[in-house]
Structure 1
Amino acid sequence: MGDLKLFQNSVLKTFNDDEKLVATRWASYQNYKSKVEAIKDFKEEEYQDGFLKDIFESCLGYTLKTTNPSSFNLEREKKNETDSKKADGVFYLNSEIIGVIELKAQDTRNLDKVQQQAFYYLSQHSKAKYVIISNFDELRFYIEKSTAYESFSLFNLTYEEFSKLHLLLAYENIKEEKALKIREKSNKFEQNISKELYKDFSNFRILLFDNLVKNNLNIEKSVLLRLTQKLCDRIIFILFAEDRTLLRTNTIKEIREEFINQKFTNYSLYDIYKFYFEAINKGDARLDIPEYNGGLFAIDELLDSLIIDDFILDENVQILSNYDFASEISVNILGHIFEQSLTDLEELQANIENVSFDKTKSKRKKDGVFYTPEYITRYIVENTLGKMCQEKREELKIIDISSPTNPKKLTKLEQQTKENLQEYKNWLLNLKILDPACGSGAFLNQALEYLINEHKNL
């Protein structure tokens, strides 16, 4: 599934590391990288010791018990405190287990399925805070039982990615609890930026609504309020999409420049926006825009007929455009904006009707309309859609699949597995998912992430 990040990138950049030590260990990492082709063929048990030595000891500064039995902070196969089960590895601080490591071989490509097992091992050690899962290529780092994680591809780390891995997991930094401090600062940052964004978004909505009321006297205010929110939703989509490369980078800037650089036309800024709205709805190869025909940008003649002063769109959208929707504004933050908007729109509607408004009796409170956090939608998806997929895989006998010995000449069993994988793919493509209480679409987004991941694993 798409990873929910533990840390804000802008916060990570404020924490320093020992650059000389990072450079030295980067050189050690090259030894691991040189073994990649061999590692791909290792079974889980064959390389667990080697992995802990090559990555944790050589690159991250830990000391294995087998290296120094009298002074170590990393141990292979440590029994749980409450039963006889063993994590593949644990690491210590002041003689207390603070982290567990669960390793799989390369044929385990979906580490989501390992998460529950790793979290179980975490719960069996009272002082443990950290969880690491790896299949020798992907390495995931969790803090406590949060489903958010940071992911690294160990087979092809850049120096920047290695530096980030080192900052979070090097033993010297674990001792200083840097990862915990970064997470705490990230949480505060997200809370603050969520408030700032909503303040700017709400201010834009009010100014836009007032401008629509001033310029469109023939349309009822309650209708204008609905159109105001729809236009705001379109703007937010573009801001989100351009920062996440779903649209061309700087699309908003491009729209503004198209408006400013007119020589033989006299289009309003809103006219230019409408050209792009149509392109987003239908697709436009010239603008490198795919067809996003989800309904938000569908033709709306009343919306298209509005008169809007240029400065309203220009100044206020520029303010919103300053936010980094790729790394700073998470889907969670957008969900909270959706949630808060429900109450604010009801209050604005009450003002239009000149009636009192009680927030405790709002539709959001009355109907229980709340944005569902990702860890909850993830849990729901894993136990509904995920369970269905697991049962289908079991039916088709495609749970644990090894790479064919000779891809050009499949054995009878390998040929049957290939056919079963194709049948599973067809089954996935024909799935239909309904969320009758859709709201912001959080469940459907999570379901889509799950299905994308299933396809990637085929």
Structure 2
Amino acid sequence: MKLKLINPKDAVKSDKQTIEKENINSLQKGIKTLLEKLDKDTTAKEEHSERVGIMSFLKTADYDDADFAFEEGKIDLAIKANNKFGVLFETKSSLETKDMISHDNLNVKPMQQVIYYYLQQRTSGNNEIKHIIVTNGYDWYIFDALDFDRLFYRDNKLLKDFKEHQSGAKAGKLTENFYNEIAKPFIENSDAELKAVYFNLKEYTNGKQTELKALYKLLSGKNLLKKKKQIDSNKLNTKFFKELLYIMGLEEQKEGSKKLIRAKTKPDEGSLLENLKVKIEAHRVLNDFKNIEKYGNTYKEQLFGISLELVLTWINRLLFLKLLEGQLADYHKDNSDKYKFLNYKKVNEFDILDTLFFEVLNVPVEDRKDKIKERYPNIPYLNSSLFEPLALEKKVAFISAMKDNLFLPLYSQTVLTNETVKELPTLDYLLKFFEAYNFASHAEDDIYTEKGELINASVLGLVFEKINGYKEGSFYTPGFITEYMARETIRKAVIQKFNDTYKLNIADFDELRNYTIGNAYKKDKIIEFNKLINSLKIVDPAVGSGHFLVSSLNEILSIKSELGILADEEGNRLACKIEIENDTAVINDTQNKLFRYSLDEENKIIEDKNKIQSGIFHEKKTIIENCLFGVDINPNSVKICRLRLWIELLKNSYYNSESLQLETLPNIDINIKEGNSLISRFPLDADLSKALKGSKWNLFSYQNAVQTYKNTKDRNVKQELVKLIDEIKSNFTAELRSQNPKLVKLNKLKNKFYDLFSGNMLFEPSEEYGGKNINKETEKKREVQKRKMESEINKLSEEINEIKISKIYRNALEWRFEFPEVLDDKGNFVGFDVVIGNPPYVRIRDIDNSQKDIYMNYHVAENQLDLFHLFIERSFQIQKANGLNSLIVPNTFLANENNKKLRLFILQKFNVLNIIDIKSKVFDDANVDVLMYLFQKTKDIGESNYFEISDNQICFKHKFDISNFWDNLNYNFSVTLDNASIKILKKIID
């Protein structure tokens, strides 16, 4: 077993709490006192005294009323949490250096002892352990209990040996027997890597403030007991959210257990929504609006829906521009004021925003009019379709139509505390509101103040997804959960890619890392390994704001970094590493310092920085284009998701060394589709080969058109490609529709009817075909036959027409050909490697009646059907063989009687890898208990793992065998019982 050392500053760099100077002074005194005591104690007998000294020292680092405990002959020292040991210590005498862990020797008695103590506590039911510490007062090694859980408690053989030792069945009952005969050989034979935060206290006697801050954070009770409040990248900024709602003209209202977004009950004339609604009504826009029912059933709902979609579009653009402005100012620190273009002093009319959207951002720099170039010399062209006029804007109104002379009273809890007036012009208010927050690309290391709080892409995604869910109320996934799901699924998918491609038998990520680092020393091999990972196909069928796709993007970058293949397009490794912290990709340079891109004082490119920034930009671009896909029924969610992916690229935008302009963004919007994931006209196994033969377009034409669209920078070419792609899909639709069994039957029926009753048949027997000599009885039979056939023809025609024009299918998502990236060379649907997400939980009784019949055709459909049942089945359908599927769903499916068909479907179709029960309340305002699962589409069944989440920590509990569930009543999933408990329970029942 190898030891990987982490310094305190790196260990706590994601902890942004501010530390008071008096706390640092207290820590310094504690260090001095402890070191004096250690230097004074000259015999090994003073170990107990050192223990007391260590305890006193730790209390200088924010322990409040924490309960320290130690017992002679047992655990040396512990800190209690919830009346159980939360931190375990093994303290050694400062004189016994040979008996202490060293950087190159982990396999010594103290290490063997803490493994024993940890296993003893876990097998006794203590799941509260957060850290394990080995120290002699000078040297400190701090281990995360999650690593002990993964490497020791979850090792079946070690756990079995420990239990047998405890019972006396193996290696005697003396602890020395365990140390020498079980723990020592286990450590010796393990190839695993164990992380430890290491420091020597002597180095902090004259420590710098930043180093002492890091040590204080590391040793604080909040950190060691994991009670510190993590900064969740996806945490809603309530102040920002509520005031933005107010300016838009919205408010949050409680209905039952849900919080819904509604137009204000007492609307303000100056709000954005009311300003626009007046304009729409004055121009009577809705009178001849096609397909208006998609915005609501009543005039009031339709007016609100259309107004909200436009206001959201404009706010999206403005926030993107604020992020761009912050990025530009960060790149040009010495000239940052020149790059600030979006504030109330420079933009005082809505007309100016219209100019920014369509005459600046939507036009390449070289094509802009001279006056525009003079007025906006520093705003780049980014090639984002976000700034192309929408069809809805052309039908209804552009932002320039908004009135400039309306005022809006300040929100009762406004962030604009320095304003002396009670109301402001709406546009001034909006831009001043944005100015009150920090849209810069980086937050300062230790500063998180109330004013100027950081607003990043994740926060914006959450704000807008919450607004988008205004009709049904929505709950959003914390960052640590999306990070975990992305990590677990994608790493397994990558391992499988390597095993399948190179005929390997790699068991885990450590083995994969050893393989790639050992083989990726040539550029062509680095490029080859990258190409393999870039062939991953990941989809979120209810994509919302795109949070899961962003987590997946970050995870793939982290994987490449760990595997040693993060490289530029030519196969040169980038001089940086990427790690995930709080669901965010953190880039460090080779000195392990935070990488920040910028130009020099003369605004010239710094080559080394440009190599890293451009390399990461192109990595992100490649991953987004090739690997990430999403679908959502809500058009606003689709826009937000696309926006978030563009912002992820914007974070690493760089100056092109040839054009000296920011690199343009690709057209990634085509990977995020609007539609109902659960409804399709055509099955996934529909024969596309016939459609391809009957079409003037082939599969290559389609795939090439999509790929060309993603990379073109010419707006006219892009528009032509959109038309071409739509034409190809329409062609496929028509050809597939012609293969519809009902249509085939109808055509045969019509032909037969024509033959029988047209009178144009020359050589058939006269009676059957209505000849002159038929009798009345035959004529009567023919009339009955004719009416029957006419009725059948009419019925089939109506059914086929219903599929063509029915509003049920208006939002249908044709998985069969919408994503050419998951079709093989013959046009067969292969499927996605990973399906991931948090689908809606909606009872079918709350769904439009027109959709119920379609939903009831699913295999899992039964009484009290919920949409999440259908998403699990649909996930199976769109996965490739051996693909992975990870969703968050209500935990009712484990045992609820109305989920019997779903459980049977899972047992028949999947191997259950993990069930993670979310015990703690991690979803704000949610009244549904949920879990996350990891399934694999295979009939090879193995052992399954059960985890629980408590205090934002994911803890392994036990293994279970899903084959046991076949014998349970209603196939109940008794996942909370381990295999031994299930056997005992069966004996009792029998």
TM tier relative to shorter chain: 0.5 to 0.7
Distance 1:329 1:452 in 2: 23
Distance 1:200 1:6, change over 3 A: farther
**Which of the numbers 243, 263, 266 marks the counterpart of 1:200?**
243
Distance 1:65 1:437, change over 3 A: same
* Alignment-mate amino acid for residue 67 of structure 1: S
Distance 2:211 2:142 in 1: 21
Distance 1:417 1:196 in 2: 52
Q: Please give the secondary structure, in 1, of the residue aligned with 2:513.
A: coil
Are residues 1:424 and 2:532 paired?
no
Q: Please give the secondary structure, in 2, of the residue aligned with 1:256.
A: coil
Aligned-residue offset at 1:314: 1.9
Distance 1:134 1:251 in 2: 49
CA contact (8 A) 2:325 2:340 kept: no
Percent identical: 18
1:24-423 mapped onto 2 (5 Å cutoff) = 65=92, 67=94, 76=111, 78-81=114-117, 83=119, 90-91=132-133, 101=143, 117-118=147-148, 120=150, 161-170=210-219, 173-174=220-221, 177=222, 183-184=228-229, 194-206=237-249, 207-216=271-280, 217-218=282-283, 219-220=285-286, 221-222=303-304, 223-243=306-326, 253-256=340-343, 259=346, 269-278=349-358, 279-280=360-361, 286-287=377-378, 289=380, 291=382, 293=384, 295-300=385-390, 301-302=393-394, 304=398, 306-310=400-404, 311-325=425-439, 327=443, 328-329=454-455, 333-344=459-470, 346=471, 362=472, 364=473, 369-393=474-498, 399-401=512-514, 419-423=524-528
Distance 1:203 1:92 in 2: 54
Aligned-residue offset at 1:403: 11
Distance 2:248 2:438 in 1: 20
Distance 1:257 1:335 in 2: 25
User: What is residue 12 of structure 1 aligned with on the other side?
Assistant: 18
CA contact (8 A) 2:132 2:143 kept: yes
Distance 1:119 1:200, change over 3 A: farther
CA contact (8 A) 2:361 2:380 kept: yes
Aligned-residue offset at 1:24: 12
Provide Cα deviations, 1:151-171, integer angstroms capped at 9, x if missing partner: xxxxxxx9665344222114x
Distance 2:237 2:351 in 1: 30
Aligned-residue offset at 1:196: 1.1
User: What is residue 580 of structure 2 aligned with on the other side?
Assistant: none
Distance 1:277 1:23 in 2: 58
* Coordinate RMSD, CA, aligned: 5.1
Q: Please give the secondary structure, in 1, of the residue aligned with 2:228.
A: helix
Distance 1:240 1:85 in 2: 49
Distance 1:430 1:290, change over 3 A: farther
Are residues 1:454 and 2:559 paired?
yes
Distance 1:251 1:123 in 2: 58
User: Structure 2 stretches of 5 or more lacking a match?
Assistant: 1-9, 32-57, 62-88, 102-109, 123-128, 136-140, 155-192, 199-206, 250-270, 287-302, 367-376, 405-424, 444-453, 505-510, 566-990
Name which of structure 1's ranges 304-313 and 15-24 shifts more when overlaid on structure 2: 15-24
Q: Please give the secondary structure, in 2, of the residue aligned with 1:400.
A: helix
**Given the two structures, how large is their TM-score scaled by the length of structure 2?**
0.28
* Alignment-mate amino acid for residue 467 of structure 2: S
CA contact (8 A) 1:211 1:308 kept: yes
* Alignment-mate amino acid for residue 227 of structure 1: L
Distance 1:319 1:255 in 2: 12
Distance 1:121 1:416 in 2: 29
* Alignment-mate amino acid for residue 400 of structure 1: R
Distance 2:382 2:208 in 1: 37
Q: Please give the secondary structure, in 1, of the residue aligned with 2:539.
A: coil
Provide Cα deviations, 1:151-192, integer angstroms capped at 9, x if missing partner: xxxxxxx9665344222114xx44xx47769834968xx97x
Judging by fraction of residues, say which structure has more helix. 1
Distance 1:378 1:101, change over 3 A: same
Distance 2:363 2:491 in 1: 33
Provide Cα deviations, 1:110-136, integer angstroms capped at 9, x if missing partner: xxxxx9645547989xxxxxxxx9868
CA contact (8 A) 2:362 2:387 kept: yes
Distance 1:391 1:197 in 2: 43
Distance 1:242 1:297 in 2: 16
* Alignment-mate amino acid for residue 273 of structure 1: L
**Given the two structures, how large is their TM-score scaled by the length of structure 1?**
0.55
Distance 1:422 1:442 in 2: 28
* Alignment-mate amino acid for residue 546 of structure 2: G
Aligned-residue offset at 1:385: 2.1
Distance 2:475 2:27 in 1: 47
Distance 1:371 1:251 in 2: 38
Q: Please give the secondary structure, in 2, of the residue aligned with 1:434.
A: strand
Distance 1:444 1:211, change over 3 A: same
CA contact (8 A) 2:343 2:432 kept: no
User: Structure 1 stretches of 5 or more lacking a match?
Assistant: 26-56, 94-98, 103-114, 125-132, 141-157, 261-267, 347-361, 405-412
Matched residue count: 330
Q: Please give the secondary structure, in 1, of the residue aligned with 2:512.
A: coil
Distance 2:365 2:117 in 1: 60
* Alignment-mate amino acid for residue 255 of structure 1: L
Distance 2:96 2:272 in 1: 69
Aligned-residue offset at 1:444: 0.8
Aligned-residue offset at 1:441: 0.4
CA contact (8 A) 2:132 2:142 kept: yes
Distance 2:195 2:362 in 1: 41
Aligned-residue offset at 1:306: 3.9
